[in-house]
Amino acid sequence: MDPATLTLSAMAQQLHAGSLQPTTLVDACLARVAARDERLHCMTQVFADEARVRARALEADTPGGPLWGIPWVAKDILATRLGRTTCGSRMLEHFRSPYDATVVQRLEEAGAILLGKSNMDEFGMGSSTENSAFGDSRNPWDPERVPGGSSGGSAAAVAADYCGFALGTDTGGSIRQPAAFCGVVGLKPTYGRVSRYGQVAFASSLDQIGPITKCVEDAALVLQAVAGHDPRDSTSLREAVPQWGTELESVPAAPAAVRVGVPRNFVQHGVEAAVRADFAHVLDTLRAAGASIVDVEIPHARYAIAAYYIIATAEASSNLARYDGVRYTRREDASDLGELYARTRTLGFGREVKRRILLGTFVLSSGYYDAYYLRAQKVRTLLRGDFDAAFAKCDILAMPTSPTPPFRLGERTQDPLQMYLSDVFTVPANLAGLPAASIPTAVVDGLPLGVQIYAPALEESRLLHAAAWLQGLLGFERLTHRGRA
């Protein structure tokens, strides 16, 4: 069996038993990249030589924890000393970071092997990985479909068996939506659970780093390795990190009296028939297994997309102001400072990034701040209250991850509003800072679908237990897509 097709947990078991060596595993993953990435274009950079050197060095040591010897892929928004950190943008096309992001450093210490960096929507702004300056990524299930975004390269790399796991970032659904589109697991932790030091900022009050894996148990192992306080990130929480990987070894076959909240008024509009039917099947499966399905209200969720695209663009406008051609970014020739700024930003930023900078600058401008930005922040506060009230009635919330299956390349690039609505069920978690995960549920007409689970803040244990239980109930077997692309 090709070891690249194994789950992270199965890779680790064989590595620790000595029946699989890190060099063999790295070579198997690199072979998958070489065979498939010309078509799928998941990767912006592949560190083949460096990964092999690292694997040989590890073989000289005693196997360590569960990530020892596991090849992984970093979204190209995470700073790495190895290679470049481009954010999918011409603005940072040649930028080399002098340091590693905290999550990269922690995975290095855990013995994981960085295989390369994955393609993404420019600066994390997109839902299809069609906004990358370096070309579109494609879905391993159907290369004429998008892999989702903005972490589409990471999700597609995991689905195509390039690696044991990948890291993505989630500002409004950018881990969970591509995970659903690619038939893998994606987890966004509670805001502050994972250090953002070394993540290039899009919207600082919304961004969060998390794992994309082949199963829920693998997500728990990766989250355990990267979570925890970091003094270099002022938003990093000082909460203890549970042993999530160990906890899932004893997931009960049928958790007693689990109350699953469903915000029906929120999830009944704009959902395609295949997704609606799949979600109904998931609820029936949970009910048959003993869970209680509870109707709950999230009254302000209908305003979430509007509030998100005010807050996120406002923060993006501020964060991206540093890319001016003066310091470490692309720099265009100009006769004066104003022309330098204009030429550098015109040629360095893509269309979607420019659109969001303009929106963000507008909502922060004099005379519009109160009407837009301040009002959006009030909606955010109300939304948090809605979730508090909902979780008083249930243990977890369930909803579709995306209102549609993976859509075709180019289908929504000329309609930004439809593209933004791809995240209608994911952005509320970011606005409220809650942990949420997407798990694969079914394959319909050759395309994967996913369901999303929310839990209260800092309740990743509850989230992971529920996700693992549901994964077992659904009996979903991940396909390897061999020969599809």
Burial class (CB in 10 A: 0-12, 13-18, 19+), 253: exposed
pLDDT bracket for residue 483 (50, 70, 90): very low
Strand partners of residue 65: none
Distance CA 29, CA 42 (A): 13
Q: 446 vs 253, which has greater pLDDT?
A: 446
Residue identified by tokens 């989250």 is 223
Nearest to 245 by CA among 266, 227, 264, 220: 220
Nearest to 352 by CA among 401, 316, 321, 311: 316
Q: Indicate if the pLDDT at residue 77 is higher than 90.
A: yes
Q: 389 vs 257, which has greater pLDDT?
A: 389
Q: Indicate if the pLDDT at residue 484 is higher than 60.
A: no
pLDDT at position 328 is 78
Cα-based angle 276, 282, 283 (whole degrees, multiple of 5) = 90
Q: What is the pLDDT of residues 293-302, one digit of tens each?
A: 999 999 999 9
Q: Indicate if the pLDDT at residue 414 is higher than 90.
A: no
Residue identified by tokens 């549970």 is 242
Nearest to 428 by CA among 399, 449, 451: 399
Q: Indicate if the pLDDT at residue 252 is higher than 70.
A: no
* Low-confidence winner among 43-52, 260-269, 375-384, 389-398 (lowest mean pLDDT): 260-269
Q: What is the number of other CB atoms lying within 10 angstroms of the CB of residue 444?
A: 14
CATH architecture of 3-252+402-474: Alpha-Beta Complex (3.90)
The domain segmentation of the chain, as residue ranges, is 3-252+402-474
pLDDT at position 409 is 96
Distance CA 375, CA 373 (A): 5
Mean local confidence (pLDDT), 6-32: 97
Q: Indicate if the pLDDT at residue 468 is higher than 70.
A: yes
Q: Which residues have a catalytic role annotated?
A: 75, 150, 174
Q: What is the number of other CB atoms lying within 10 angstroms of the CB of residue 365?
A: 12
Alpha helix stretches (DSSP H) within 293-426: 304-319, 337-348, 351-363, 375-391, 416-420
Q: What is the pLDDT of residues 120-167, one digit of tens each?
A: 999 999 999 999 999 999 999 999 999 999 999 999 999 999 999 999
Residue identified by tokens 């011409």 is 90
Question: Over the chain, what is the mean pLDDT?
Answer: 94
Strand 185-188 to 209-213 pairing: antiparallel
pLDDT at position 333 is 84
pLDDT at position 367 is 87
pLDDT at position 482 is 40
